[in-house]
Structure 1
Amino acid sequence: MRVAPHTGGLVDLTVVVPAYNEERRLRPTLDAIRDHLRADPDRWGEWELIVVDDGSTDRTAEVAAEAAADEPRIQLVRSVRNRGKGHALRQGVLASYGRRVLVTDADLATPIGELDRLDELLAADDDAGAAIGSRAHPDARIEVRQLAVREWLGRLGNRLIQRVAVDGISDTQCGFKLFDGERARAAFADSRLDGWGIDVEILRFFRRSGWPVTEVPVRWSHQPGSKVRPLDYGRVLLELARLRVARGGASGDGGEQGGVRGAVRRWGRRHRADLAVAGVFVLASFFLYKGLWADLDRGYLADAGSDQNQWEWFFAVTADNVTHLRNPLFTTIQNFPDGVNLMANTVMLGLSVPLTPVTLAFGPVVTWALVLTLGLAATAFTWYRLFARRLTSDPRAAALGAALAAFGPPMISHANAHPNFLVLFMIPVIIDRALRLCEPAAKNGTSEKNGKDGKDARDGKPRTVRDGVLLGLFATYQIFLGEEPLLLAVMGTLLFALSYAVVRRDVARAALGPLLRGVGVALLVCLPLVAFPLYWQFLGPQSYHSVLHGDSAGNSPLSFLEFSGRALLGDEATADALAMNRTEQNAFYGWPLISLALGIVVWLWRLAVVRALAFTAVAAALLSLGQRIRIPYTDVVFPGPWRALAHQPLFESVIESRVAMICAPALGALVALAVAHLVDARSVRAASAVRDAEGSPAGWRERVPRRHRLIGLGVVAVALLPIVPTPLPVRERPEVPRFFTEKMYRAYVTEGESVVPVPLPDPGSAEALHWQSSTRFGFSVPGGYFNGPWGENRMGIYGAPARYTSSMLRDVRYSGQAPVIDDRWRAQARFDLDFWKGGVVVLVPQPNDAALYETLEKLFQRPGKRTGGVWIWDLPPRR
């Protein structure tokens, strides 16, 4: 309620003082304001002073009423209960009649005399919307300071609010602000926050309305008993977050729910294109994996080899380690007793750890399917966001380019078995953050961002520390998703940056300093976080130096012109002849797309970004040909450029044909640019390369004639249609024997012993890993499918080093011929089984199991025992 309401029209000035339990400090404050305004009646004219009692439990209202009795221009507005400073200010401003409105705290930490400085600024500019007191201004005078900790926390909170909500205003929370009256009433009528966050909400309203807000340095003194605490800055951020969700809601539950629905609708309208693109990518990803989702119990990706068993095992062993608080970087459940260095294997801790609840609740197969399906869609979406931000504002063009980058033939090949090369959603994020470091170089029109996004560089000064910290954190997370994809991404980014620098030396010179400083900050953040994991990877137990793949791991030049086995017009036989295996078809873009890319480069050659993308794609393609390049249909072989990198640290473990994966986003960016020009040249980002090499305006921005546009879009469709991926085939996986599902092995294996499958699991056949992961790791096995050391030089190999007995059983499995077994073989078998600490030998039904049974019967000189669907040979206790 309002006591003694104003009866006239507009007054010259209204002063609003919110008060909650301020009986001690309120009267001196009111007297000081009254005396200051009375002292110069010609300047202040008609004025009113509104005290808003925010449901005080002391004599605050009585004190205000007593002051009003002495000065009729003092008014009192009362609230039945305490609602917060925001609610009190809203009541007071909406009850005001002033042409200008001053809001000030009841403690008068900023003396009322500072009103003169704010008023002078508003009087000098008819268009000014607000003049706000600032304690952060270089000319401000802090006469009585807070405790150092409180002051530091306050600065930190103010900085956070500035970064999150009102960039460019250094002190949002100073309680001394002078507004244009009509604009203030409009802003407070639109406000919704009842707490400390209303200051930011009002300033954002002024910003959105285009009403200038100017900070004015003021005198300020910390007042004992102040109700403002450092943590209140955190509350402001929480209130702003709530406002983003509930904007538009009224008080009461029903109104707030309506506000949430309204906010969701408004957010949906603003991001309709993004939501549509994300939905299409998710549907496309589910379409590819529909066979796997149709039968999660028995479905197995047909072209996965042993990799699906391996990855399900990785997800399950991580969940098991997390659950039992064991070292997530090592395990002896596989390759018993030596164990496996999990950090030296791609277990994707960045996903396998947070998805532990899913793995425990639904099993590792569901985790495997989710990672593949949603990871592919997320990767496509982040490429879309990068292209939409950096290349074109047309969502259709950006989405098409992103689809090629994420669903291109190499990625679909890895979609069968290698989520670390499929789930690449952090790569575009890392690239974008690196580009942000270069943005101050773009003040003269060479920025890769438009004006809206350009707010990240204020006055040309890079936020190097913030962007460097984020880049370091993003890189750290990617290391725990996949190191080799990060290395390839760095290679591709360097190829692009170097080529772009050659074309645009002016941009390169301006960007080099901020970029190097930002990368330095990123390294300072990243290296301490990954130091121990990388130490464990390269120097810990079961670590290795490198994995060599021979001299023929490069792509054939023909593979770039052919279609992959999983492309719409692809042929498995043709693709198989040109690739290492079906999970390593790392090129296969097809001659139509290659031809289209050449045409785009010729058409848009004037664009620096097009020249840089072309160089990146060509250089990556050449590197992917390997150490020796053979001219198709001839015997001519000459050294390839990869030879210079093949034996360098890190690169020596890379399968060089994978470098061709860099071409996918480069080709996707070219397609996005071409489609953007065909649809509407104005949608091309002004930053991407809108100027030619001489820096003159790009004349090619003229709209393409309709007929040419339709022809161009048709050519793009024809070039992309042949490589559209088809659903990944699924086969039925073997059932897990009852010996394992019913835990019969417990009767034969004691602690410290292992189950010895016949033959031992290896990269060619790893069903034993599925027995483990599907039964919650009740037993360990020797051998396995992993990367580990071999020999004194710790050379990296796939699987465990072979032993005589494991090699002999493997030969029987594939030849179907039982060897002659004598005492030497029996002694060797006892030696190997003792090394493996075997408790029981298990033979499951499989091809050539009769020959395997005969071999085992001769080795142990006794028949096996049939139980739980398998043959077993119980081993005597080890001495």
Structure 2
Amino acid sequence: MRRPRGGPHRAAGRPVNGPAEVVDLSVVIPAYNEERRLGPTLDAVTRYLGENEDRWGAWEVVVADDGSNDGTGDLVTEREDPRVRLVAGPRNRGKGSALRLGVAASRGRRVLVTDADLAAPIEELEKLDKALCEGNAAAIGSRSVPGATIEDRQHRLRELLGRAGNVLIRRTAVPGIRDTQCGFKLFEGDRAREAFAASRLNGWGIDVEVLRHFHRAGRQIAEVPVRWSHQPGSKVRSLDYLRVLAELTLLRARAVRPADVLAVTLFLLMSAALYSGRLSDPGHRYLPDSLQDQNQWEWFFAVTADNVAHLRNPLFTDLQGFPDGVNLMANTVMLGLSVPFAPLTLLAGPAVSLSVAMALGLAATAAAWYGLIVKRLVRRRAAAFTGAALAAFAPPMVSHANAHPNFVILFMIPLIVDRALRLCAGTRVVRDGIVLGLMAAYQVFLGEEPLLLASIGMVLFAGAYGVVRRDVARAARRPLLKGLAVGAAVCLPLVALPLAWQFAGPQSYKSVLHGDNAGNSPLALLSFAERSLIWGDAVRANALSLNPTEQNAFYGWPLVAVAFAIVVRLWERALVKALAFTAVAAAVLSLGPKFRIPMTDQVYPGPWALLTHKPLFESVIEGRVAMICAPVLGMLLALAVDRLAATRSPGTQYVGLLGVCLALLPLIPAPLKAVDRAGTPAFFTDGAWKSYVGDGESLVTVPLPDPGNAEALHWQTEAGLGFRLPGGYFNGPYGDDRIGIYGAVPRYTSNMLREVRYTGVVPAIGKNWRAQARRDFAFWKAGVLVVAPQPHDDALREAVTELVGREGMWVDGVWVWDLHETRPREAS
């Protein structure tokens, strides 16, 4: 008579030497309604182990019955061999539940998990055992690595669906493992019992969950090629791969470390605190230290959203710089961000969109550096947080946070660095090269100059590390070069057209004039930035930098001193040597093509002189190279904090952590300055301008917008980009050599009106000036001239009256001169 199915824990036979005796090998077989296939599998396994006891020693077979309702359990209990045991659950819960039960009941120094169909022959155990003997904690049989053979394939459609599902699983859960679902795996016994006990999944996803446990614990996993053949009656369906993916997604959400959540939350709070003055009311608040850049960037977001909404070319517009227009690709409009943000821009306005993008982007950048440091440098979350906070909130980053989202939103840079390091490992060169190419292409649409600076930093680091570890450099050279070639082959076709437009399209230019020497003073590297909460000195900081948005160094002498001490203390590590060289080299390059020794008249050429006239480098503000130091110093701090946390000397810990705190304390930034924004005249917001500007005409604000006063761009966005503006704040060509300048090509009238605005002095205007003004108005295709309330507006009104030959009219808060002489106007 057969015994009842299911029920409480059952065991057949007794272990030879009692239940607590440790054996050399446990074979765990999960089973659910396997009456037909389990018998031959048990025969094959016991016969092989019995014939090779000198090889495997004492062994046992544990069948984990997952609530079968056929004769599966009887096949085990009716066997006379006490080394074959049965453990059973009360009901069917899934493969994961059965394996958890079976592995928990195992006693082997090593545990083999194999499916009831024995698709991988038991003889393949020798290959897995060899991998464990080589120092791995787990060895998994694989059908996907070189050397594997598949003798009897499953249906082609099922195989393709299975592969697709397995790709999704690998992408989601276990990096580097090609075949997670082959049910033939050998583990160190104690490690297996620990991993399976920690598992939570009851379905097929337990294979991946257990491998993730080993991976997170830093234990080596070997993927071993095996023979495999499809067995009829498999209970794994192709859709089960998607079910596994769903299980793992839920598991990943539950398994997120609280420390990681806390780190990201703190980064968000830090970013919100920095931008608190603008976030409270983005539409009516302005960051004065951005100079005119906030107006410019809001316009960039607005024009991109407008182009997207009307399906226009996102690389060009004539809404500014009319009639020549603006090459948007040559102006870093961050299409990779402004396009995805277009719905928010259209819904809430460019001021809100830019504010949200910069606040979230800065936090995302910190989180990305945090992830890289945790993955590559240290495992202690506090150490990683310290390093990432410095990388993202260092004084240069805070300075650019006023105005330059392309230098704040850098979350792709750590991902690119990580992918390049993966290439050096040489495991999945083609795949990693493709991903790197896609990442680089996306970063081009976020900012080319940050990508160039990151490349400089990676080259400096790679060169230094290669000198220190020549063996590593030799091993990494071939896969790295191959991966970079693959990445270039992927990236270039994606960016070829936009880059061709940027460098050869309408309104393209060769380089941007930013002065003979925009490098850092050596003193800037040791001084404190304007927004440093404790020792910030606006007068000194601005004397050592181009402007408040370009304080590209200012790390402070305490941090430099602590970094020097860290390098000395950890000098034996090749990583520290390479990081130190990278920081020093970047700092020296940032001095520019020439630099003066402080407190002397001695001027020397700098290394940047070798690059200053080279393509791409000629437009770089060389002082920005010092920004490379921010993540490098962050990594050095992370290594130091991690080492201090591991030391057993309380005195060393106290002194070391005190030094880190004293170095970072002066760098804590104060919130960015924000002021109430001047209201936009009703002439623009109420649509009064529409009756003055015809098709193909422009609205000329007086003076014309330029890099020193670009408020007219804000008026234009407030008017829904309904009219075109001559002048503007952008980069464009000048002269036959097409040298890049800031703003539109100046004309006599625009220069004169700008001088009046800044000096309040109206020159003598005769018929020559009036004739030149008519030519300039015609060039701009001006329909109307507008003088809004501003400093020296009386002088501007007088100058325009002289140029036009008649008084203007006061219309909705501005003075208006209608240039359509035949169209009568009435004052409001």
TM range (shorter): 0.7 to 0.9
Match of 1:337 in 2: 323
CA contact (8 A) 1:195 1:236 kept: yes
Per the normalisation by structure 1, the TM-score is 0.76
CA distance 1:829–1:386, change in 2 (3 Å): same
CA contact (8 A) 1:378 1:425 kept: yes
Letter in 1 for 2:645: D
Q: Within the alignment, does 1:759 sit opposite 2:703 as a pair?
A: yes
Among 674, 677, 682, the residue aligned to 1:730? 674
Among 749, 752, 755, the residue aligned to 1:811? 755
Among 248, 271, 276, the residue aligned to 2:262? 276
* Cα deviation 1:350-408 (Å, max 9, x = unaligned): 22222223222222222222233222222233333333343433333333333332222
* Cα deviation 1:308-355 (Å, max 9, x = unaligned): 101111112222222222222222221122221111111122222222
CA distance 1:33–1:546, change in 2 (3 Å): closer
Q: Within the alignment, does 1:362 sit opposite 2:317 as a pair?
A: no
Q: Within the alignment, does 1:373 sit opposite 2:359 as a pair?
A: yes
Classify the secondary structure of the residue corresponding to 1:303. helix
CA contact (8 A) 1:379 1:424 kept: yes
d(CA) in 2 for partners of 1:797, 1:609: 42
CA contact (8 A) 1:834 1:878 kept: no
Letter in 2 for 1:465: V
CA contact (8 A) 2:176 2:427 kept: no
d(CA) in 2 for partners of 1:304, 1:814: 20
Match of 2:622 in 1: 656
By how many angstroms is 1:877 displaced?
8.6
Classify the secondary structure of the residue corresponding to 1:326. coil
CA contact (8 A) 1:337 1:836 kept: yes
Q: Within the alignment, does 1:423 sit opposite 2:409 as a pair?
A: yes
Q: Within the alignment, does 1:463 sit opposite 2:465 as a pair?
A: no
Deviates more, 1:301-310 or 1:404-413: 404-413
By how many angstroms is 1:151 displaced?
3.9
1:181-200 alignment runs, 5 A limit: 197=205, 200=208
Match of 2:12 in 1: 10
Letter in 2 for 1:741: T
CA contact (8 A) 2:30 2:99 kept: no
CA distance 1:306–1:179, change in 2 (3 Å): closer
Classify the secondary structure of the residue corresponding to 2:660. helix
Match of 1:306 in 2: 292
Match of 2:19 in 1: none
Classify the secondary structure of the residue corresponding to 2:486. helix
d(CA) in 1 for partners of 2:325, 2:307: 14
Letter in 2 for 1:233: Y
d(CA) in 2 for partners of 1:734, 1:835: 30
By how many angstroms is 1:39 displaced?
13
d(CA) in 1 for partners of 2:770, 2:512: 34
d(CA) in 1 for partners of 2:663, 2:75: 86
Letter in 1 for 2:608: W
d(CA) in 2 for partners of 1:377, 1:329: 28
Classify the secondary structure of the residue corresponding to 1:842. strand
Classify the secondary structure of the residue corresponding to 1:638. strand
Letter in 1 for 2:469: R
1:106-505 alignment runs, 5 A limit: 142=150, 145=153, 151-162=159-170, 164-165=172-173, 171=179, 173=181, 197=205, 200=208, 220=229, 232-245=240-253, 263=254, 267=256, 270-272=257-259, 274-438=260-424, 440=425, 462-505=427-470
Match of 1:634 in 2: 600
Among 514, 537, 561, the residue aligned to 2:526? 561
Match of 2:773 in 1: 829
Match of 1:613 in 2: 579
Match of 2:56 in 1: none
1:841-852 alignment runs, 5 A limit: 841-852=785-796
Match of 1:512 in 2: 477
Match of 2:20 in 1: none
CA distance 1:39–1:4, change in 2 (3 Å): farther
CA contact (8 A) 1:86 1:193 kept: no
CA contact (8 A) 1:118 1:216 kept: no
1:13-32 alignment runs, 5 A limit: none
Among 765, 772, 784, the residue aligned to 2:728? 784
1:674-823 alignment runs, 5 A limit: 674-677=640-643, 679-681=644-646, 703-704=648-649, 706=651, 708-823=652-767
d(CA) in 2 for partners of 1:849, 1:741: 20
By how many angstroms is 1:536 displaced?
1.6
By how many angstroms is 1:288 displaced?
2.1
Classify the secondary structure of the residue corresponding to 1:297. helix
CA contact (8 A) 1:379 1:406 kept: yes
d(CA) in 1 for partners of 2:570, 2:197: 52
CA distance 1:513–1:212, change in 2 (3 Å): closer
* Cα deviation 1:469-488 (Å, max 9, x = unaligned): 33222222222221111111
d(CA) in 2 for partners of 1:859, 1:723: 53
CA distance 1:171–1:352, change in 2 (3 Å): closer
Match of 1:596 in 2: 562
d(CA) in 1 for partners of 2:131, 2:613: 69
By how many angstroms is 1:505 displaced?
2.5
CA contact (8 A) 2:121 2:228 kept: no
* Cα deviation 1:591-647 (Å, max 9, x = unaligned): 333333333333443333333333222222222222222233333323222111110
d(CA) in 1 for partners of 2:241, 2:793: 71
* Cα deviation 1:827-870 (Å, max 9, x = unaligned): 33232222222222211111111111112222222221211111
Q: Within the alignment, does 1:583 sit opposite 2:549 as a pair?
A: yes
Percent identity of equivalent pairs? 55
CA contact (8 A) 2:64 2:98 kept: no
Q: Within the alignment, does 1:524 sit opposite 2:489 as a pair?
A: yes
d(CA) in 2 for partners of 1:368, 1:124: 58
d(CA) in 2 for partners of 1:307, 1:406: 21
d(CA) in 1 for partners of 2:695, 2:188: 80
CA distance 1:498–1:327, change in 2 (3 Å): same
Match of 2:24 in 1: none
CA distance 1:748–1:524, change in 2 (3 Å): same
Classify the secondary structure of the residue corresponding to 1:583. helix
What CA RMSD, in Å, does the superposition of the two structures yield over aligned residues?
4.8
By how many angstroms is 1:674 displaced?
3.4
CA contact (8 A) 1:11 1:47 kept: no
* Cα deviation 1:695-749 (Å, max 9, x = unaligned): xxxxxxxx5561x443343333333333332222122221111011111111122
By how many angstroms is 1:239 displaced?
3.5
CA contact (8 A) 2:128 2:141 kept: no
* Cα deviation 1:250-282 (Å, max 9, x = unaligned): xxxxxxxxxxxxx3xx53xx332x333333332
Deviates more, 1:233-242 or 1:624-633: 233-242
d(CA) in 2 for partners of 1:15, 1:506: 44
Letter in 2 for 1:644: L
CA contact (8 A) 1:303 1:582 kept: yes
CA contact (8 A) 2:132 2:139 kept: no
d(CA) in 2 for partners of 1:402, 1:141: 46
Per the normalisation by structure 2, the TM-score is 0.81
CA distance 1:421–1:116, change in 2 (3 Å): closer
Match of 1:455 in 2: none
d(CA) in 1 for partners of 2:715, 2:765: 30
d(CA) in 1 for partners of 2:525, 2:620: 19
* Cα deviation 1:412-445 (Å, max 9, x = unaligned): 221221121222222222223222333x4xxxxx
CA distance 1:227–1:320, change in 2 (3 Å): farther
CA contact (8 A) 2:590 2:626 kept: yes
By how many angstroms is 1:90 displaced?
9.2
Classify the secondary structure of the residue corresponding to 1:629. strand
Letter in 1 for 2:603: V
Match of 1:552 in 2: 517
By how many angstroms is 1:234 displaced?
3.8
By how many angstroms is 1:188 displaced?
9.8
Match of 1:856 in 2: 800
d(CA) in 1 for partners of 2:642, 2:204: 45
By how many angstroms is 1:221 displaced?
5.1
